[in-house]
Structure 1
Amino acid sequence: MGMNANNGEYILSYFFVMLDTNAKLDGMNLLDSSAFFHEYIHFLQDIFLPYCARRNLIETRCLRLIDNVALDKGFFLPFDSWGDDFAITKIQNERTWGDNKFIDEDVEIHTIINDYVKIPYGQSIFKYIAQLESGQEYQIGARDFLEYIAHKLEIKFYEGVDAPSYPYRTVDYLFSYYGWHSVPVECRIAVAEFVLHNDHPMNLFVTVVRYVKDNSCLDLLSSYEGASHLLNNLKWNSVGGFSETATSKTVRRLRDLKDSLEDRFISDDTSAVRCWLANVIEYASNMINNRLYFSEIYQDTRKSALIKISDHINDIGVPLVFNKRMEFISLVPNKNVEDQFLNLYFSFLFVNFVREEKKRECPACRFCITNYEDIFDERCKNDPLTRWRVDFDCPMGALLRRYHSNKT
């Protein structure tokens, strides 16, 4: 799943950035680019926020399932062994993520309707549809909260930034819809960040609205200190029946994520990725303990905010940044192992190739034409699966062998 800005995209769960530029990235001061800043905020969300961590756990389960099936009976396309669990996960993702479209018009929400489906164990998964004053319909979900945070930070610290109203200002329209016009931006960001600690952010947003109304405490959202106190002490009941706070959910999800990612990158040729991920999760645990981090950043001056982001880049970096020509750089601290991080990119291509179940050219074609032109041939376009299975020079083939998917 990608997070799109006007001039860039961040790929959730795979930790890489795509920039809409032909410029050489090597030697560029990337923080001069508002697009890179925006996408780097998405990277930090990916490692800081429990909703994003859950999506990462799902991607790891996908790879593990493909591996297990390949070990048992070989690997074939179309892949038809997803099972009921992944069918349920698809429903959860579709109903919690929200829309994938963009709406340019500055148009208020007329009403919000919801429906639900029941999945095994009795859980109800809601979907929230905003009916706009223009007559359009738009599904509100996690994407809107993630993009709102990144956009508000971007437009505060960079000039000349424009973006469609939905998803980038959806949260402002929500606050208007509920009559919360006076809530300042830093408190709106705090609420958006808080609800992303839940597996269904819009559900938790509605819970916050109901709590504030029932307890007549809207005044707490008029100051950042009041909003922080309210949100950090607000609890909700998990599907497992126990009470959660933002802090407890973060600790639990980061622990699960660490175990899952170590399992995903277990081979020797991904040892640097495994080490980096362990360091990143420890870094995230130390950084966000009992904090609403992105709303804190919003209250900084531009100079202070960019220093903090620069510090993050120096401390943990980001594995891969691509330009439009598929040239890439790695910003991980250990520059001697940056090629290992291409496993993240190829894993993304592989999983989506399997999911879409269409016979077509290798999804790495554009990358290989730029970076591995000497090994590119017609099989890459006409029969990629056969090429992957037999060619040890092919990077996608190396990935298949790691997940035992070269077996027939």
Structure 2
Amino acid sequence: MHIEEEILNELRGSYLTSFYSIYLNGKYNEDISKMSQNDQGTLLHEYIHYLQNISTPFGMYMSMTSYSFMYQSLHDIIVNDTIHIPVNPILSKQSVASWKKLTAVLGTSNLDRCQFIDWSKEIRVLLDTKDVEGSKIEKAIFKVALTDGTQVDLEIGAIIVMETMSALYQSLIDPNASHPDIPYNIIMKYCQKYYPRLASDSRKLICLCYASLYTLCPGAQLIRLIKDYGNNDSIDGYTAFYQFVNSYNAGKKVDGSPKTLVEYVDEIIDIFKTKMAKILTSNLEFLDVIFEPVRLSQKWVPVVSALYDQTPFSLNHFKTIIDNVGLPYIHTSYQQYSFPNIEGKSEPSQDLIELIALQTIYSFFTTTKSDDKECELSYMCKGNIYNEDHCKNHPWTQEIKCPFSVVCNAYGIDRKKIIG
């Protein structure tokens, strides 16, 4: 099983959740002011996904579920002398339960080709609760009519929340960027129909989307927040976000006293970093520092604060966020790639290199062989050292030194019998 990533219909870029990797179908420049407006907007869109991933409980829950699947698959690869591709390990009950709960709240990601929502018709909203592996999962359903007359139910889940937020942020730099209704525009068009004042305030809608990602049922939470704040002009997005943070019931501490959302997020980040340290052989560097600036306890929330500065959001605000939080791994359609390093070090952070290599190994060994299958990092080898047969058929061997082959060597994978 693989978690569906945010590639969806966004052809200009994508973000690989849990592996801190941005793909840009364009050119990247360290001085982002020298990039084209389209590329700036796409980079911001994917960077918002990165912030969603590292700062919110939902983003970290997605990552921990993904790592659980990857770890169990890699364990099978490492301990067996013969590897059959695709590897299909017996997964723990806990991992399967986490997967089922996650997929239950991801929601609708797209419509079938040539299907479109008829926005002239009424939309009925249904909030429903479903038991999934012993947990109560709240779902938000839009009952809509399509232009061909078909009636369909669309689940407003985490994918729509994340893409709505990222597309709205992108529009602040590139107002001409266009996206399909699902998953990008459906919430905005719904608000235009029923909450026009909120639809005209993209900053506020961004903040409501972001707040909902601090819960494990973001879609249903967003619909409730829209109902609570959609027609209230006296409360801006900044205030609404912090009202949510301060009022949210995040459970109880060991002593029975209430746990605040700020305390809960700090706890999740600490647990997450501990799990990461157990997965990787490298010491945490990049993955040790990126979570620190985005803790709610730091009292500076980049996504929200940048929107409500004294001056309107601009490329300078984006630069400030990057300066404080850092950039993840970036690769482009022009064969550019850039691993991050941490302040004071000139060499790329080994922990992220190892993590991306592990993800690539996991993807290669758990995917059925096909004619176009090759190592996902093959773009690193293009040029004099690129060998198509190597990258397609045996990237674990050592004639080309790349993250894939180096980590395979460290784990002894290149010395095993591999079939498939």
TM-score (norm: length of structure 2) = 0.77
Q: State the distance in 1 between where 2:143 and 2:391 align.
A: 45
Using the TM superposition, give the Cα deviation of residue 392 of structure 1 relative to its aligned residue in structure 2, in angstroms. Answer: 7.2
Q: Which residue of 1 aligns with 2:362?
A: 351
Structure 1 window deviating more from structure 2 (362-371 vs 186-195): it is 362-371
Match of 1:20 among 25, 41, 51: 25
- Is residue 231 of structure 1 aligned with residue 249 of structure 2? no
Letter in 1 for 2:68: R
Q: Which residue of 2 aligns with 1:326?
A: 335
Structure 2 residue matching 1:393: 3-state secondary structure: coil
Structure 2 residue matching 1:367: 3-state secondary structure: helix
Q: Which residue of 1 aligns with 2:323?
A: 314
Q: Which residue of 2 aligns with 1:161?
A: 177
Residue segments in structure 2 that go unaligned for 5+ positions in a row: none
Q: State the distance in 2 between where 1:259 and 1:199 align.
A: 21
Match of 2:136 among 115, 119, 124: 124
Q: Which residue of 2 aligns with 1:400?
A: 408
Q: Is the Cα–Cα contact under 8 Å of residues 60 and 260 in structure 1 kept in the other structure?
A: no
Relative distance call for 1:352 and 1:112 in structure 2 (3 A) is: farther
- Is residue 201 of structure 1 aligned with residue 243 of structure 2? no
Structure 1 window deviating more from structure 2 (40-49 vs 57-66): it is 57-66
Using the TM superposition, give the Cα deviation of residue 142 of structure 1 relative to its aligned residue in structure 2, in angstroms. Answer: 0.9
- Is residue 49 of structure 1 aligned with residue 56 of structure 2? yes
Structure 2 residue matching 1:124: 3-state secondary structure: strand
Using the TM superposition, give the Cα deviation of residue 81 of structure 1 relative to its aligned residue in structure 2, in angstroms. Answer: 2.1
Q: Deviations over 1:300-323 (max 9, x none)?
A: 477654323212323443232211
- Is residue 133 of structure 1 aligned with residue 141 of structure 2? no
Pairing of 1:245-324 with structure 2 (within 5 A):
245-267=260-282, 271=283, 274-285=284-295, 289=298, 293-300=302-309, 305-324=314-333
Using the TM superposition, give the Cα deviation of residue 203 of structure 1 relative to its aligned residue in structure 2, in angstroms. Answer: 3.6
Q: Which residue of 2 aligns with 1:148?
A: 164
Q: Which residue of 1 aligns with 2:123?
A: 110
Q: Which residue of 2 aligns with 1:62?
A: 69
Relative distance call for 1:236 and 1:378 in structure 2 (3 A) is: same
Using the TM superposition, give the Cα deviation of residue 378 of structure 1 relative to its aligned residue in structure 2, in angstroms. Answer: 1.9
Structure 2 residue matching 1:374: 3-state secondary structure: coil
Letter in 1 for 2:21: F
Structure 1 residue matching 2:155: 3-state secondary structure: strand
Structure 2 residue matching 1:101: 3-state secondary structure: coil
Q: Is the Cα–Cα contact under 8 Å of residues 70 and 359 in structure 2 kept in the other structure?
A: no
Aligned residue pairs, count: 391
Structure 1 window deviating more from structure 2 (77-86 vs 33-42): it is 77-86
Structure 2 residue matching 1:159: 3-state secondary structure: coil
Relative distance call for 1:159 and 1:353 in structure 2 (3 A) is: same
- Structure (1/2) with the larger helix percentage: 1
Q: Is the Cα–Cα contact under 8 Å of residues 42 and 146 in structure 1 kept in the other structure?
A: yes
Structure 2 residue matching 1:380: 3-state secondary structure: helix
Quick one: percent identity of the two aligned structures? 14
Using the TM superposition, give the Cα deviation of residue 365 of structure 1 relative to its aligned residue in structure 2, in angstroms. Answer: 6.3
Relative distance call for 1:72 and 1:342 in structure 2 (3 A) is: closer
TM-score (norm: length of structure 1) = 0.79
Using the TM superposition, give the Cα deviation of residue 370 of structure 1 relative to its aligned residue in structure 2, in angstroms. Answer: 1.8
Letter in 1 for 2:245: N
Q: Is the Cα–Cα contact under 8 Å of residues 12 and 42 in structure 2 kept in the other structure?
A: yes
Using the TM superposition, give the Cα deviation of residue 197 of structure 1 relative to its aligned residue in structure 2, in angstroms. Answer: 0.6
Relative distance call for 1:375 and 1:155 in structure 2 (3 A) is: closer
Letter in 2 for 1:323: T
Q: Deviations over 1:122-142 (max 9, x none)?
A: 223354442223234432111
Letter in 2 for 1:376: N
